[in-house]
Structure 1
């Protein structure tokens, strides 16, 4: 049963990513980091250090992907602040993994939840403006209408 649920969720996420706009992709990445941090916390409680390491590593990889997706030229101070937060989060997760610290994972989850909450509140109109700017930057007019 557990395998079936995992397979279903995996296919669901892959399908969601295949048709997702850039805003939704970021939402999915943030959610994936939170899910992996939750898995790491459970693994620490069970003293399952293999799962802890894998889950923390996945969360760190996702956060690094979020960091690398920032448009530093266009994002200005907001991008700089997010870059610093993501950097802090990755470093804090490394410490959490070394120390098997649920509290440090909770710290990172709290930050990610605040970032995700703000991201989720971006209006459809503002998303469309962002897509149009991205399309213009990339020379792809069709992205703005996707």
Structure 2
């Protein structure tokens, strides 16, 4: 018997996701933790602010280490991730929702572009498999 069906679904989603879908999940998770960090700042909850901003940083670090930096675009992404991690540290120290907003804009852009890439790849796979678009 499944004790927590939501957790079982989440685990199954992660276990069956493609690398592209996992990246999309990471971006979405980062945005979730940024928003929770903002909420904690507004509620003057220092502990939750710290926990959630650190989770957002951890996700960006994970995205950083998975980059294949032999390509110029990956080197640029690595620099952007480093910048955003530093901005998150600054937001955490200063308790700044404005800095969190700034970081969220970048992460939202990354997520939206990544979502488009996944959709385009699916279309190409359908065409390659004999389907029509």
Question: Is it true that 1:58 corresponds to 2:49 in the alignment?
Answer: no
* Residue of 98, 101, 117 corresponding to 2:96: 101
For residues 27-81 of structure 1, give each alpha carbon's deviation from its aligned partner in whole angstroms, at most 9, with x where no partner exists.
00111100000000000000011100000010000010001110112xx111011
Work out which structure has the larger RCO, using CA pairs closer than 8 Å and 6 or more positions apart in sequence.
2
Question: Is it true that 1:29 corresponds to 2:18 in the alignment?
Answer: no
1:15 CA displacement: 1.8
1:11 CA displacement: 3.8
* Superposition map of 1:1-146 within 5 A: 9-73=6-70, 76-122=71-117, 123-124=120-121
More helix by share: 1
The answer as to whether partners of 1:43 and 1:51 remain within 8 angstroms in 2 is yes
The answer as to whether partners of 1:23 and 1:127 remain within 8 angstroms in 2 is no
For 1:9 and 1:47, the matched residues in 2 are separated by 30
SS, match of residue 121 in structure 1? helix
TM value normalised by structure 2 = 0.84
Q: Which residue of 2 aligns with 1:137?
A: none
1:105 CA displacement: 0.4
1:12 CA displacement: 3.2
Q: Which runs of 5+ in 2 are unaligned?
A: 126-133
1:16 CA displacement: 0.9
CA-based RMSD of the aligned residues comes to: 1.9
